[in-house]
Amino acid sequence: MPHASIRRKACATFDRFGLAMVALLTLTSAAVAAETWDDKLFNPKPADGDVVLPLPCGGAMTFRKLSVPGDSLYSDYPVTIGTQDEAHGFAEGARTAYVAGSFSDGKTQRYLLMAKYEVSEAQYEAVMADGACPAKPGMAKRLPKAALSWIDAVNFSDRYSQWLRKNAAAKLPKEEGEIGYVRLPTEVEWEFAARGGIKMSPAEFNERLFPMPEGMARYVWYAGTQSANGKPQLTGLLQPNPLGLHDILGNVDEIVLEPFRLSRLDRLHGQVGAFVVRGGNYLTGEQDIRAAYRQEVPFYDGDAPRRAKTTGLRVVVAAPVLTSAERLRSAQAAWSKLGAVSAADNKPAAKAADDPLEELALLAKSAADPSTKTRLLNLQTTLRADIAARDEQRDRAAKASLRLGAFLGRKLADDSRAVDTLAKLYKSRVDSGSADDPRTKSFKEQLDREQAVMDGNLRYYADSLIRTAEDYGTEVLKRQKEILLVELQGMGLGELKPYVDRNFAHVTGYQKDKRVARNQWLADWNKIQ
């Protein structure tokens, strides 16, 4: 019995010691697994404006702002996506689409966050780990995660969203108190970003590729020994696009949110297919790399999900549209005003009886026949849509007029300074008694030419200014001025702000007093340094 008692005590002591050691080893293992990653694993090319969000297991993911002009709930930004290339038109036909941001960024801009790099193997494994973190990753894990199905990509986004909202909610952007979440980008968001967003002028945006001054091989991994050489490459080795996004073209295809549909000239066809990948990959030929690149991939390969070795993903952080009851009420109120008949700019307000929408509503209300009532309501909706489209065209034209005025103003400022300089040189030579000197005569001829050019530009500026003032109301111009300033800032042309402001002041001044003040306008331009 004494021996049995001793054995029981020894076993109990060993069990307690063993359990303690297991607990210690578990804690030690977890601590090692959760060790903070080296920055090069998640942001090998740091840049101003980077937004870093944490990942499980000590990791992180870097994002960039995808900014879009917008100052209200129904503000969206028109862009042309796709291509005019006949060979790819069936899938990539050019069409007008609209993009808007999820989060407010001041009064005139909205944004969402887009991952700066394709999701890496290390990031994917950290998010998808079920409680037990993998060992701290090495640089080889910076390869883009590939061989993914659409469901894999959605599951990754969901798990990362849930982890962030539980563990790092304060770091997520918010819209009216509603925190953001991770999802796949839409096709329009992806192509808007791939083309360079508002960093590009409209002409640059519609090119096949974003500007690549150092040659494509410095920006894109594509097929061939001069580039990817048949293998995926570590994220972030090449130069970024104008928005600071790396490998948005090439390396691995990137899965987007919505399914494939054929292009039917200016719109998408009604039949919905499988999922879409964008951008091309390391097996795509150099000549086929393009921002419009768009391929359908089957959801399934036999009885299993389709997982191509070239398919990866990039995610965005966005927010719901209707973030609160107040936002819902605002949406309802704003929707009722879309396409509403209003007085023409700078004209007296129309009477209610002159409003065809109101008249159609009254006729529909009094119609006894249900089919007649439905037709009248449909006609009212169609008319509202036409009016809303007209208003959008008016807004774009107003913005273009303000931009033209600003550029003409800058040209006048340059012209005025050149004329002043030549006039002073000519006067100094005349005052010194060299009026008949051939060089003095040459100065006079040059002065006369420059003066004639400036006078012509001033007449054109005055005509454009008056037309702008008469065609558009002050509130329309004010709103479009703010959107124009966002666009110019995005394109790196922020120095034009004084010219936009001065042109706007001239236009609104003319609206008030109807005075054509060419000499004063020219003097104002000459004051801008």
Task: Identify the CA nearest to 475 among candidates 430, 507, 442, 502.
Answer: 507
**Is residue 501, in this structure, part of any structural domain at all?**
yes
pLDDT value for 516: 94
382 within a domain of the structure (yes/no): no
186 lies in the same domain as 97: yes
Residues 115 and 226 in one domain: yes
Residue 329 lies in a domain: no
The reply to whether 182 and 79 lie within a common domain is yes
Q: Cα(60)–Cα(41) distance, rounded to whole angstroms?
A: 8
Which single residue is written with the structure tokens 């936002």?
327
Domain boundary among 318, 333, 361: 318
422 and 290 both lie in a single domain: no
Q: Do 69 and 216 reside in the same domain of the chain?
A: yes
- Tally of CA atoms within 13 A in the half-sphere of 272 that contains its CB: 5
State which residues form the domain around 82: 39-318
Q: How far apart are CA 201 and CA 492, in angstroms?
A: 10
* pLDDT score of 210: 97
Residue 13, domain member (yes or no)? no
Tokens 């999701």 correspond to 119
Q: 308 and 424 in one domain?
A: no
Q: Which residues of the chain have pLDDT under 50?
A: 1-4, 6-7, 9-33, 343, 348-350, 352
DSSP string, 116-140: SSPPBHHHHHHHH--SSPPPPP-GG
Does 297 lie in the same domain as 394?
no
The answer on 83 and 224 residing in a single domain is yes
The alpha carbon torsion through 38, 41, 43, 44 (nearest 10 deg) reads: 100
Token pair of 517, please?
Answer: 């003040």
SS (H, E, C) 139-188: HHHHCECCCCCHHHHHHHHHHHHHHHHHHCHHHCCEECCEECEEECCCHH
| 101 and 186 belong to one structural domain | yes
Residues 481-513: tens digit of each pLDDT:
999 999 999 999 999 999 999 999 999 999 999
- Do 121 and 207 share a domain, yes or no? yes
Tell me: do 399 and 312 sit in the same domain: no
Looking at 287, 318, 349, the residue that finishes a domain is: 318
pLDDT of residue 22: 39
Nearest to 234 by CA among 166, 138, 323: 138
Residue 327 lies in a domain: no
Please tell me whether residues 297 and 406 are part of one structural domain. Answer: no
Tell me the per-residue pLDDT of 136-151, one tens digit each, with 9 for 90 and over.
999 999 999 999 999 9
Q: How far is CA 3 from CA 16, 17, 113, 490, in A?
A: 20, 21, 70, 84
Q: Residue 214: count other Cβ atoms within 10 Å of its Cβ.
A: 10
Say how many domains are in the chain. Answer: 2
Position 443 scores a pLDDT of 85
Report how far residue 240's alpha carbon sits from residue 256's, in angstroms, rounded to the nearest whole number.
Answer: 20
The Cβ of residue 40 has, within 10 Å, a number of other Cβ atoms equal to 13
| Residue 86 tokens, joined | 């006949």
Residue 323 lies in a domain: no
Identify the CATH number of the domain in which residue 206 sits.
Answer: 3.90.1580.10
Q: How far apart are CA 253 and CA 3, in angstroms?
A: 70
Instruction: Please indicate, yes or no, if residue 399 is contained in any of the structural domains.
Output: yes
Residue 275 lies in a domain: yes
Domain boundary residue, one of 261, 295, 318 = 318
In 432-517, alpha helices (H): 438-471, 474-490, 497-513
Structure confidence at residue 351 (pLDDT): 52
pTM, two decimals, is 0.82
Among 412, 395, 396, smallest CA distance to 502 is for 412
